[in-house]
Chains A and B, each alone.
Chain A
Amino acid sequence: MHGHSTFEPKNGFVKWLEARLPILSFSHESFVAYPTPKNLNYWWTFGAILSFMLVAQIITGVVLAMHYTPESTMAFDSVEKIMRDVNWGWMLRYAHSNGASMFFFAVYIHMFRGIYYGSYKAPREVLWILGVIIFLLMMATGFMGYVLPWGQMSFWGATVITNLFSAIPFVGDQITVWLWGGYSVGNPTLNRFFSLHYLLPFVIAAVVGLHVWALHVVGQNNPDGVDIKDVKKDSVPFTPHATMKDSLGIAVFLLLYAWFIFFVPNYLGDADNYIPANPMKTPPHIVPEWYFLPFYAILRSIPNKLAGVVAMFAAIALLAFLPWLDTSKVRSGKYRPLFKIFFWIFAATAIGLGYLGAMPPEGGYVLAARLLSVSYFAFFLVILPVLGLVEKTKPVPATIADAVLAKH
């Protein structure tokens, strides 16, 4: 795709560098001249917000690792020392722990936006699948990070989640012992989780690089779901237009983030995690972090160990097949009246599952979780394939410029 301007080296050094490593012209094409659909709304700023959060998490994480001790008898105290004694330690730790929540909050909005506007449809399948891979890596990173403070929830969360693998037929038990490095979650587990928790964000950064690369090959989707046809009429240059809009999005998001860090820093965490890990005593309610709750609810809704685990992983894996499960020719949900309704039912289902995941697995909660699990899977396996065949869609504008004109 041709950008809005071309990079022209101005001075001798830039020319010299360009002949050897064309990084400046590459950056110019990717982040300055890159054509951005002019009709993007603020839901599209979450890509930039997520990039920002990834950097924020890596920086605060690297800094926290300077003070943290990944050893089962010292981990809890080292975190307390960060909170009490290290200069700004309380802020760095609250920024990192709440940052994980903000990261997931942003990624869920990003994903729902992608689903609503059909951002996974051809030619963006690879872009979407890379996103699903990032989401999986984030879950692994978030889970292992939550284990590091070695509180009660860390320990028992690690125990429950690693036990998921024991559901694998024949080799499950060996796999869990291998994961633990012992016969239960213990010091070797903590040590390796720390190592991987440090590693995975850089893997995420690499996959984000691929995600952005793929994005720049196929171009951004937009609320009307029509591709850029005329760069001048349909798009604006990435800088300053998208850059400034993204900056505003980040600043507003930072307000929310700062509110959590400074005023309700423990709201999203579990009080039990301020009790040191005790392998002899399980807390009364084991609850994962909020961002895992919908999947946790699906796991618990099935009264069979293997089937529950399979259902939980399937709930995530299905996302990767969205490009083929959705049979509609029309990309954006804006022009799909029936899809819109089912989309919001799906969103409410996900939130409902999240609430039920935090409730004790008893009584009516179990029944509700089962109904919502069915609703979750039905969206992917029944609604989306069928809808594309039966839905009467609204007329889609020919170009982005037409769509904008129609609005004004």
Chain B
Amino acid sequence: MASASTVEPTRRDFLFIATGAMAAVGAAAVVWPLINQMSPDASTLAMASTEVDIGSIPVGQIVTIKWRGKPVFISHRSPKEIEEAQNVDVATLRDPQPDSARVKKPEWLIVIGVCTHLGCIPLGHQGDYNGWFCPCHGSVYDTSGRIRKGPAPLNLAVPEYSFLTDTKVKIG
């Protein structure tokens, strides 16, 4: 504008900058709830833990239960499976972790049944290591649920859980 020079430039600039800054702050403050509303809501966050009776699972069997909308594998491992899981040179693994760090009791392996590659559900007692085999892209897990072959980067995740009694597990 032609008359700009007739007004003190500094005060004018300050006013415009302050107004513009307020508008930017306001816009940012409005955007936040619109983004945050997509995060899990209070009912999802409060989603309860699950208690499972494992007394009826025979040795050598894997049971799948649902927890937070995802499958959890509970594997009652045989002595042979435990041995296979323990006798591994941890240093050679893609995601190095000893079996002892993945179980609370050696005969019970509890892992989240979601392939760490792209989220498919691996099949139990299959693959070269007698653990899990993911049919989607060929990831192979061992009897400790550790990644051994294929594209997956990490071992099957271990959920938070505790033994309430010898035959009762609380997951979550």
Direct interface between A and B, CB < 8 A: yes
Residues of chain A in range 61-112 having any CB-CB distance to chain B below 8 Å: 63, 66-67, 81, 84-89, 91-92
Instruction: Assess the B37–A81 pair: CB atoms within 8 A.
Output: no
Type the 1/0 row for B18-54, where 1 means its CB is closer than 8 Å to any CB of A.
0000010000000001101111011110000000000
Instruction: Assess the B34–A59 pair: CB atoms within 8 A.
Output: yes
Instruction: Assess the B41–A63 pair: CB atoms within 8 A.
Output: no
> A87: shortest Cβ distance to chain B, in Å?
5
Instruction: Assess the A81–B41 pair: CB atoms within 8 A.
Output: yes
Instruction: Assess the B36–A87 pair: CB atoms within 8 A.
Output: yes
Instruction: Assess the A86–B34 pair: CB atoms within 8 A.
Output: no
Measured CA separation A260–B29 after assembly (Å)? 18
Measured CA separation A89–B40 after assembly (Å)? 12
A244: nearest residue on chain B (CB-CB)?
B19
Q: Secondary structure of the B side of the interface?
A: helix
A62: nearest residue on chain B (CB-CB)?
B34
Instruction: Assess the A85–B37 pair: CB atoms within 8 A.
Output: no
Number of B residues with CB within 8 Å of any CB on chain A: 11
A247: nearest residue on chain B (CB-CB)?
B23
> A89: shortest Cβ distance to chain B, in Å?
7
Measured CA separation A86–B35 after assembly (Å)? 12
Given that A81-B41, A81-B43 are contacting pairs, would A87 and B33 also be in contact in the complex, using a CB cutoff of 8 Å?
yes
Measured CA separation A81–B37 after assembly (Å)? 12
Partner of A88, one of B23, B33, B43, B44: B33
Measured CA separation A84–B43 after assembly (Å)? 9
Given that A87-B33, A88-B33 are contacting pairs, would A66 and B42 also be in contact in the complex, using a CB cutoff of 8 Å?
no
Given that A59-B34, A63-B34, A92-B33 are contacting pairs, would A87 and B43 also be in contact in the complex, using a CB cutoff of 8 Å?
no
- Which A residues are CB-close (under 8 A) to B39? 87
Measured CA separation A92–B34 after assembly (Å)? 8
Instruction: Assess the B42–A88 pair: CB atoms within 8 A.
Output: no
- Which A residues are CB-close (under 8 A) to B36? 87-88
Partner of B38, one of A66, A81, A84, A85: A66
Measured CA separation A89–B44 after assembly (Å)? 14
Partner of B41, one of A59, A87, A91, A247: A87
B23: nearest residue on chain A (CB-CB)?
A247
Instruction: Assess the A85–B42 pair: CB atoms within 8 A.
Output: yes
Measured CA separation A86–B37 after assembly (Å)? 6
> A92: shortest Cβ distance to chain B, in Å?
6
Binding site for A on B (CB under 8 A): 23, 33-34, 36-39, 41-44
21 intermolecular pairs with C-beta atoms under 8 Å apart: A59-B34, A63-B34, A66-B38, A67-B41, A81-B41, A84-B42, A85-B41, A85-B42, A86-B42, A87-B33, A87-B36, A87-B37, A87-B39, A87-B41, A87-B42, A88-B33, A88-B37, A89-B37, A91-B33, A92-B34, A92-B37
Besides A88-B33, A91-B33, A92-B33, 12 more A-B contacts (Cβ < 8 Å) are A63-B34, A63-B37, A66-B38, A81-B41, A84-B42, A85-B42, A86-B37, A86-B42, A87-B41, A92-B34, A92-B37, A247-B23
The 3 closest A-B pairs by CB, nearest first: A88-B33, A85-B42, A85-B41
